[in-house]
Amino acid sequence: MKKIFVVAAMALLTLSASAQKIGRVSFSELVQLMPEADEARATLKLVSKEADEALQDIYQEYQNKMNQYQQKQSSWTPAIKEAKERELMEIQNRLQENQQVFQQEIQQKQNELMDPIYKKAQETVQKLAKEAGLIAVFDSSSALYFDEAAVIDLTASARKALNIAEGRTLQALNEELQAAAAAEQQQK
């Protein structure tokens, strides 16, 4: 009797589970293609450029002092030479410290800018999933296997809800970013 009950319960669970709807979405695509992500990238690029300029100023100061040291060290007394070496070490340390601080600040700024974008994308996907009556949505980039016919793809409706331009792709975005980087390199 117990076996019949267990088999019946398993069959009922299987039938009810198959009636449940599951969705998928390409979450990283959504986040990267959102207009807000473009604004975040532009802001981060500006912050990064300012940090690079500040580091370049310190490096230039170091180079100038090093050139002076190399040219004049033979005429300096040991005390002056030692003071100049200490000064070079201080500049070198300041350069390294500033590099670390700037990297941390840029990472912090990236988190500050991207967190609301992730949240907006997640809330949009959740809203669409509830409207579609889905019990679960998974990121298609991390799924090992799924049956396309049994899963509802929310990516297109999420793209529309997030104001992502129709036809815009990750490949196009990467090409845009590479072209901008190449143009920037040519200007230097």
**Rounded to the nearest 5 degrees, what angle is found at the Cα of 54, between the Cα atoms of 51 and 57?**
150
- Distance separating alpha carbons of residues 46 and 49, to the nearest angstrom: 5
Q: Which amino acid is at 15?
A: L
Angstrom distance (rounded) from CA 188 to CA 183: 9
Q: For the full predicted model, state whether its pTM sits above 0.85.
A: no
Question: What's the confidence (pLDDT) of residue 148?
Answer: 81
pLDDT at position 158: 95
pLDDT tens digit at each of 188 positions of the chain: 444 333 333 333 343 445 689 999 999 999 999 999 999 999 999 999 999 999 999 999 999 999 999 999 999 999 999 999 999 999 999 999 999 999 999 999 999 999 999 999 999 999 999 999 999 999 988 887 878 888 999 999 999 999 999 989 889 898 989 988 888 888 86
Biggest alpha carbon–alpha carbon distance for the chain? 104
The pLDDT score that the predictor gives to residue 114 is: 97
Nearest CA among 120, 150, 149, 125 for reference residue 139: 125
- The pLDDT, as a whole number, for residue 183 is 87
Q: Which domains does the chain have, with CATH numbers?
A: 22-171 (3.30.910.20)
For residue 19, the model assigns a pLDDT of 61
CA-wise closest residue to 106 among 159, 167, 164, 49: 49
User: How many whole angstroms separate alpha carbon 54 and alpha carbon 141?
Assistant: 39
